[in-house]
Structures are given as structure tokens and as C-alpha cells.
Chain A
Amino acid sequence: MRFSPFIFIIFLFFLTIVNVLVSLSIGPVHIPVKEILKNIYLYAFNKGPNWTISTIIFYIRLPRIVLAVIIGMILGVSGLVTQTVFKNPLGDPYLTGVSSGAAVGAAIGFLVSPFLVPVLAFVFAMLAVGISFLISRSDGEVNTEMLILAGVSVSFLFSAVASYIIYLKVANLRGVLFWLLGGLYGATWTDDFWLFIALLVIFPLMVYFRRELDIMLMGDEQAKSLGVSTGRVKTVTLLVSSLITSLAVSVVGIIGFIGLVSPHIGRKIVGESHRFLVFVAPLIGANILLVSDTIARSTPQGEIPVGIITSFIGAPVLIYLLYRRRKM
């Protein structure tokens, strides 16, 4: 049961738009759809909108929804690249040390000042990624087998450091735990702007490399015989996706599962070709994160970390797809 990939991409695009509109009408403060539409009109034409409603829509919900879409796309496309380059179905964009590096930075940030959390998270994520790449470098290119092991080792090392700092030093355990499970609560238009630029870097690059990524699936020997310099493509795509993922993590914390599950769902529906997957995986990521975040911010007991919801939604979907594959 496969859809025409092209139609599926258009379907996903419209699904995202519908999802955005539905999310806009859901939240901890109940605002009737009529009021939302009225205030969008009043706001757009500068006719004195209700302050409470327009602030909630334009400064709290909308920037957050946009952020969910952008981050979901970044994690989806980064996850796709990671799985392809490592030829590993368990690949996710945090594999090169991003998440544990970011956790160390965030833990230090929670000790020093909450304002430093994003900056330190980014710096330490890049540090962990940098170490992993340095370890696995040979002849100016990365050896992916080495990189996956280096990434895992570096991750364990940084996790130990993060746990040590959090366990012994950080007083605000709830705050740290929330950050480690991810949350879009701090979303502003400024965040949206910078992450959109990040998306503009990574997305066209992966579209550009879509054929190389396809060829890589056949193995290094095949790729070489077809004249594709896999080493260079691997190094560039992995470095860029680690960098952009670090940026995303520094803003919203460690949101798990999106990068892992989105490419798998995409493959089950449109097949292995990156010609379509580079569009499908990020759009699926955007939709999963958007639905998850809308749930996370609207629970009656107050907001809960979105990472809990993404796993709740993503894991059953993946299990279902695996079950179907087994039957086939």
C-alpha cells in the first residue's frame, strides 16, 4: 500500500497547514474559534484587538507552533541523513554526541544562570560532536564505523559528566529534567527566525545531495564505481546535520524520537528514494512534533515535557509499522 510519492508530499503539506490551524485553537486558555478569527482580523488591520487574546495568539501560540514545525523538520531531515549515512536504522541526529554534549552545557547553565543554558548547550554539543569527528577522522574524511562508536563513547562520557553535575550540584532538578525531555515553552519570534535560517541551510543541502544519498545506500564500493565521493558527502552532511541539530537542541532541549521515527514512517510510505524522502521525513517530523507539543502544552495539570509525548506517539507508530513489515 504505497501512495504516489508526489501526491503524498502535497498531502503532508496540507496536513501541516491544517495541523497549524487546529493547534492555534487549542491551548490551556480556552478561546472560541470565532474569537480567534475575530482577533486575527482586528490585529491584522490594527483595529484594537483584545489584548489578552491577541497576545496569546500572536506572541505565545503562533511562535510556538512555527517553532514546532521548524524543529520537527530539522530533526526529521537530520534523522534521515544520519540513518542513511550510517546505514543504521537506529540512527538519530543525536548519535554523534549532540544530546549528551548539550546536556552538559545545560547542566552548567542551570548552575550559573538560566540565561546561559542555550549558549552553553550549543557550545558543549559542538564540543562533543567535534571530539567524535576528530576521533573518527582518517585521510581528511570521516570513517562512519568509527564515528558511530566514537559518538556512542563520547555520549556516555558526556552523560556521566552531566549526571554528576546535575546529581551533586543542581538545586532545580525539575527544571533540568524538563529541559532534558525537551520543551517549546520559551518560543519567541526571534527563535523562529534563527531556526528558520538554520533550516534554510540544511534543507536545500540535503535536497542537493539526494542522489548521492541514494547511491550511498548501495554501499561505498558501488558509490565509488559510480563516481560519487562518499567520504566528502558523508562528512559534509553529517557535520551540517549535527551542527543544525545542536542549534535546535540548544533552543528546545532534547526532544527524542522524532529524528528516529520520521524517516522510518516516510520509507514505509514512499519507499527508499531520497528524491521524496528529503521532503517527506521533515514534514512527518513537523506534524508529529506539532501534535505532541499541542498536547504537551494543553494538559490539565499544566505543561509537561514534549519528549514524553513524542515517544508516546512515535513508539506505537513505529511498532505498528514493524509489525506490518513482519506480516508482509
Chain B
Amino acid sequence: MNTKLITSIVAVIVIAASVTVVYAEFHKEKSQPSSITVRDDLGRNVTITLPVKRVVSMDPSDTQMMYAIGAGGLLVADTSFDWWPANSTALPHVAMDSGVASVEQVVNMTPDLVLATTIQTAQIIDQLQNITNISVLVFEPHNISNIYSDMLTLGNVTGHSSGANAEVNHMKSVIHGVQVKIANYSKESLLYMMWPSPIYTAGPNSFIDDEITAAGGLNIAENLSGPYPVISMEQVVQDNPQTVIVDNNTGVSDITYFTNGNQSHIWNNISAIKNGRLLIFNVTESNWVNEPGPLTIYAVQMIAQFLYPQAFE
């Protein structure tokens, strides 16, 4: 009999306690700060629970944006490709198997938010987002204003809106400054070589084309379609560019590639080669150009200085 009573009392206590705990949990959930839904560059609506405290970056350009808007302190991991700012290299690195991230390692960092680019396959983004419930923002800017909007989104999400605004205004003023300086010079036509054979270049839908345009260059690949098309030698001959810019790590180390190579009889008559108007990026310059983010202003400055050295004297 006693046992029955005791059992009943215990049962009541357990039920009451459970209800209290559940209620408290429910209540706590409700009083938590809300979440935010933003649109990323893939057009996905991503809902992120606030506040964001732990961020994993899967691309150097994302890392750079985080530091530039003052949110670098939230990063708990980045990649071994990171090089700027200096303290980004000290963070733990997510293993990148030829650019593709290890999902296990990302999950192990228990992030609230993961930043990616389209170099990550859809499967990886899907795994993180839908299986582990970690929010993933994919940034893939196609032009400089897209870099600004990505930074502002990032500022919104991480609670660094004022930092993001300040950085965007800084970038705008630097690029405006460049454009004021070069405004009085006639535009130089330019061939950008991402790879020399066949000549891969930056087409009209790429941020590199926008960097060239912002620096006052006339990209001869403007008429092609797609972000990184192959441009024919015929068109190079026809457009006869005044300047040639070659990316780093293409095997082109100096002008002799053009003047002594297989097609020297063609190149020797191209204006840029005839006049020695050739720029070959070093590693840092290549990173400025190829990583859309806060360093893009250096890319614009560098190209403008090459195109219009008189304007910067």
C-alpha cells in the first residue's frame, strides 16, 4: 500500500517536473533572439539563427571579407589557402582536398555559420545545410557592387553592419579616387590572359572584367559570352590590344614567350608586345585580382597604375 502511495507521489513529481522543464525550455526558446533570413549569391534564402558566434570560412575571399568588416574574431577555422590578413593563417584549417572541404572537419568545429563559394560542390553545401543543420552562405560575386552587397549581408548576419558599411564606403572611395585620376586619359585596350594556350580570358560576366573596367581598361573580350571564355588569336589580331596582362603561374615569365615563341610572327606585330606593354602578375597581385573581396581595390589600383602610369606620378 505504502509502495503504491510512494509510486503515485513520485509519478506526480516526475510529471510536474517534466512539464516545468518542458515549459521552461519552450519559454526559453521563445525568448531567444530571432533568426535572420538572407539571400546568398546562389539565390538561396538562408535562415541563420542569431547571434552568430562561430564561423567557418571555406574560401580566402570569405575570410578577407570577415576581417575587413571587423568580424574576423568570429572565425573559428579557415583554409590553408588563406594568406591575408596575417592572423588568418594562425586559425585551424579545414582540410581542402583540391578545394573541396572536408565536411567532417567543418562539423567538428561546431559552427553557427559556414561561408563558401561555388568551388564547393552542391552536395557538400547540402550535407551541411540539411543534415547537420548548419547554415551555409555561398558568396560568388560577379562584379564589384556584388562584393559590396555580399559584405553588407555578412555585416547584417554577424552583427557588424557598421563595420561593413565603413569598409564598403572605403572601397568605393578608393575606386572613385582611381577613376578621378585616370578620367582624362583615353582608354587603353587590354587582353587579359588567364592561361596562354588556348587563351582563356575574363568575359563580360566576371568580376575580373569589372576590375579591368573599373581600372579604365577596355577588355577586348567584352563581346564574348560566359565568364571565362577562350578568345581566338584571330580576334586578338583584329583588336590589336595596346596592353596585355598575364596571370601568375601560367608558364609565361617574360615577354620572350611572345617574341620568341611559336607564334612570335603574330605577337611581334601586336601593339602591346611591340611596345613592351606587358604586365605579368606575381603571386600577391594574382591573389588581389582573383579573390573578390576587400583586396579588390588593390587589384583595381594596380591595373590602373599599369595602364596609366602618368596619372599616378
Contact = CB atoms under 8 A, between A and B. Distances in A.
A302 B98 contact: no
Given A51-B269, A188-B262, A175 B234 contact: no
Interface residues of A, number: 32
A185 B233 contact: yes
A318 B148 CA distance: 53
Nearest to B269: A51
A56 B238 contact: yes
B262 A186 contact: yes
B237 A56 contact: yes
A304 B225 CA distance: 12
Given A171-B249, A186-B262, A302 B224 contact: yes
B249 to A, nearest CB: 7
A175 B237 contact: no
A174 B266 contact: no
Interface in B223-237: 224-226, 228-235, 237
Nearest to A64: B233
Nearest to B203: A302
B251 A27 contact: no
Interface string B199-232: 0100100000000000000000100111011111
A255 to B, nearest CB: 14
B245 to A, nearest CB: 17
Given A114-B250, A168-B98, A301 B238 contact: no
B263 interface: yes
Nearest to A27: B234
Contacts of A169: 98
Contacts of B250: 114, 172
Interface string A19-63: 000000001110000000000000000000001100110011100
B232 A27 contact: yes
A302 B229 contact: yes
Nearest to B100: A167
B31 interface: no
Interface of A: 27-29, 51-52, 55-56, 59-61, 113-115, 167-169, 171-172, 174-175, 178, 183, 185-186, 188, 190, 297, 300-304
- Give the 10 A-B CB pairs with smallest separation, nearest first: A302-B229, A114-B251, A185-B198, A303-B230, A29-B234, A28-B232, A301-B225, A302-B230, A113-B251, A29-B238
Of the candidates B97, B198, B234, the one having the most CB atoms from chain A within 10 angstroms of its own CB is B234
Nearest to A171: B249
Contact of B198 (A59, A60, A186): A186
A82 to B, nearest CB: 29
Contacts of B238: 29, 52, 56
Contacts of B251: 113-115
Contacts of B97: 168
26 contacts: A27-B234, A51-B269, A52-B238, A52-B240, A59-B266, A60-B237, A60-B266, A114-B195, A114-B197, A114-B251, A167-B98, A169-B98, A171-B249, A172-B200, A172-B250, A175-B197, A175-B200, A186-B262, A190-B262, A297-B232, A301-B225, A301-B229, A302-B221, A302-B230, A302-B232, A303-B231
Contacts of A172: 195, 200, 250
Nearest to A55: B237
A185 B197 contact: yes
A29 B230 contact: no
A66 B233 CA distance: 17
Contacts of A168: 97-98
Contact of B225 (A28, A59, A186, A300): A300
Contacts of B263: 59, 186, 188
B98 to A, nearest CB: 5
Contacts of B265: 59
A29 B229 contact: no
Interface in B263-288: 263, 265-266, 269
Nearest to B221: A302
B72 interface: no
Contacts of A186: 197-198, 262-263
User: Which interface residue of B97, B225, B251 has the most chain A CB atoms within 10 A?
Assistant: B251
B159 interface: no
Nearest to A184: B198
Given A60-B232, A168-B97, A301-B229, 10 more contacts: A29-B232, A55-B237, A59-B265, A59-B266, A60-B266, A167-B98, A172-B250, A185-B230, A302-B203, A302-B225
B70 interface: no
A190 B261 CA distance: 12
Contacts of B197: 114, 175, 185-186
